[in-house]
Structure 1
Amino acid sequence: MADLQLKSHRFRAEREDDWRRLERLLDRAERSGVKKLRPAELLEIPVLYRQALSSLSVARSISLDQSLIDYLEALSARAYFFVYGARTNAWRRIGGFFRRDWPDAVRGLWRETLVATAIGVLAAVIAFGLVMREPDWFYSFVPPALASGREPHASTEFLRATLHGPAGQPGGQKDGLDVLATFLFTHNSQIALFAFAFGFAFCVLTAVLLLSNGAMLGAFLAVFAQHGLIVPAVGWLMIHGVTELFAVTLAGAAGLSIGWAVAFPGGRTRVDAAMHAGRRGAVVMAGVVVMLFCAALLEGFARQLVEADWARYAIAAATAALWGGYFYRPSRKASAR
């Protein structure tokens, strides 16, 4: 025991100055910032870090006192994050997400985005045609609780009032459409989350959700088309629907990418392929939350305040151009090539 204590004391005496030096440099960097360190001190930290790791390895191998091992572990962890960690603040991370990470992730899913768009459009077209041909098909696509008067047998005056009736009348037609808009937003938000979460099931459940969402949209528009109100109905919906439906499509694309990776992992294992697709999909989904928030603002303010059809279409076109330019503008790397 005495020999072990002597060995521990000698080990500490020989190397403690380097540990304390590293600790003081880290304290200064954490307290005052990296810019306060001189270039020579910055170069010194990685050397001292490797020495601390070596000391930790020796301390563990010869079973020195536990307090010394704990101290060296904490010191090595601090130095590791200084040497290898990303030294940036939260605002820079957020800026990098919007400037680079999110658009790059969306562009990387362009094939899945096209497939998700095709699924939703196909379902909407089929449902629209079925309801136009046989109005009772409407109840197969739209939940009964949602219809509440906005159904194939409603009068033209009633439906027109829901689109352009006076705002703010309790119990009026406009209030009824407000309930519809809230339901659609909640429904689309849930579809977006589930479409991504169910991607692991070989794309099947994600595709089903996209089909269901598109069919409900097509059936809803068919009701207004039967009464000659398709133009104002599309304008009312797209004022926030461009952002909202695009968010659902991107969530579906992220889910499809995971399902495809699980089904066809290529050279990776299925777990690795799913993790790779999931990391990119998670970035897309973080942006989808932002898009749904923007859609909620458009639904809560612009849709209430803008009554003219041409203005609604102008806002819809502007949001489409905004998202399209943001996600699919030529990247700097592509321009350099």
Structure 2
Amino acid sequence: MDIDVFAAVHARDWERLDDLVRRRRSLDGEEIDELVELYQRVSTHLSVVRSSGQDPALVGRLSALVARARSAVTGAHASAWRDVGGFFTRVFPAVLYRLRWWWIGTSAGTVAVAAVTAAWIVNDPDVLHALGTPESMARYVEHDFANYYVENPAGSFAAQVWTNNAWVAAQAVIFGVAFGLPTIAVLAMNGINIGMAAGMMIAHGRGDVFFGLILPHGLLEMTAVFVAGGVGLKLGWTIISPGDRTRMRALGEEARAAIAVVLGLVVVLFVSGLIEGFVTGWVHVTWQRIGIGVVAEALFVLYVFTVGRRAYLAGETGDIENAPEAVPVA
């Protein structure tokens, strides 16, 4: 084979492929098809030239061209850190912002349940006495409530509350597929439990201890649970009222966004677990403890309403690009 003749015949294909590779970010559909076709054709040319063994320089040139074309066709692999960064700067905050009214409403409802429960216990001695004997009640308000935060090593305690809260949040989201009813039950139970603890402590004149120990970690922790509950309720409502989408398509889109929220809340709850494990029971100045909790909560709200709003207005929905219209089923 005359290698010079071969190169002259196919030089235009090689130049055209090189041009398409250089402009790969601005190609239209027809040019993308041409890029794929030329990549396959020049790969064959490379095989022919290499097997002839006549021109190592040409082999090197074509090898580099084919490698660049392969990267353009298959797409360069994005780094894992870039994916993680994109998730926390676009996907997660955008979903939180898009569904903000759901979890703000959930927050208000759960706090209302806790407040009513606490007020009932404080103002009705019969209800207070029904919760336990005077001895057990005194032990709880004077010792057990505060000791809960320091009776275990800080690291293991933080890990324990992290996993427990992550499970509660996951339940609140997952149960949304049952029309949101179990999600409402989870949130109501959490509100009642908080209200019972608050009511018992306030009724015994220990309200300052209750709020001094709950607020540092509870602001961020309960916000995460409220977010999970709001997303779960949105999932349930989507089944009931999918709007102008098919029910399966709507469910698929909202379920994928819900998964993104669950993954993001794992990190949020990790932070609240660190605060509960290393701050709540171990920082002895009350205003410092509460200040740390307020700062953590303020940063989360700022994150949602700045980063999340910007990502949402840029078109981020939290769904997967080119995803199927429905969630997979067995």
Q: Same fold (TM over 0.5)?
A: yes
2:83 is the alignment partner of 1:96: no
2:151 is the alignment partner of 1:175: yes
User: CA shift at 1:201, angstroms?
Assistant: 1.4
2:102 is the alignment partner of 1:125: no
1:304 corresponds in structure 2 to 281
Q: Structure 1's 231 and 260: CA in aligned 2 closer, same or farther, altered over 3 A?
A: same
Letter in 2 for 1:271: M
Higher relative contact order (CA 8 A, sep 6+): 2
**Contact 2:198–2:207 at 8 Å: present in 1 too?**
yes
Q: TM-score, normalised by structure 2?
A: 0.67
Structure 2 unaligned regions, length at least 5: 1-9, 25-30, 42-68, 315-330
User: CA shift at 1:261, angstroms?
Assistant: 0.6
SS at match of 2:281: helix
Between the aligned partners of 2:198 and 2:250, the Cα distance in structure 1 is: 39
Letter in 1 for 2:86: G
**Contact 2:39–2:70 at 8 Å: present in 1 too?**
no
Flag as ranges the 4+ runs of structure 1 deviating above 6 A: 51-54, 176-184, 333-336
Q: Structure 1's 301 and 333: CA in aligned 2 closer, same or farther, altered over 3 A?
A: closer
Q: How many residues align?
A: 267
Between the aligned partners of 2:242 and 2:261, the Cα distance in structure 1 is: 20
**Contact 2:105–2:230 at 8 Å: present in 1 too?**
yes
User: CA shift at 1:88, angstroms?
Assistant: 2.2
Task: Give 1:265-280 correspondences, 5 Å limit.
Answer: 265-280=242-257
Q: Structure 1's 52 and 239: CA in aligned 2 closer, same or farther, altered over 3 A?
A: same
User: CA shift at 1:189, angstroms?
Assistant: 3.0
Task: Give 1:4-153 correspondences, 5 Å limit.
Answer: 39-42=19-22, 46=32, 47-50=34-37, 82-83=72-73, 85=75, 87-134=77-124, 137=127, 153=135
2:141 corresponds in structure 1 to 159
Between the aligned partners of 2:264 and 2:243, the Cα distance in structure 1 is: 28
> For 1:1-51, what per-residue CA distance to the aligned partner results, in whole angstroms no more than 9, with x for missing partners?
xxxxxxxxxxxxxxxxx9xx99xxxxxxxxxxxxxx965544589324247
Q: Structure 1's 91 and 293: CA in aligned 2 closer, same or farther, altered over 3 A?
A: same
SS at match of 2:151: helix
Task: Give 1:218-297 correspondences, 5 Å limit.
Answer: 218-297=195-274
Structure 1 unaligned regions, length at least 5: 1-17, 23-36, 55-78, 143-148, 166-171
Between the aligned partners of 1:320 and 1:160, the Cα distance in structure 2 is: 28
Between the aligned partners of 1:173 and 1:251, the Cα distance in structure 2 is: 24
Q: TM-score, normalised by structure 1?
A: 0.66
1:314 corresponds in structure 2 to 291
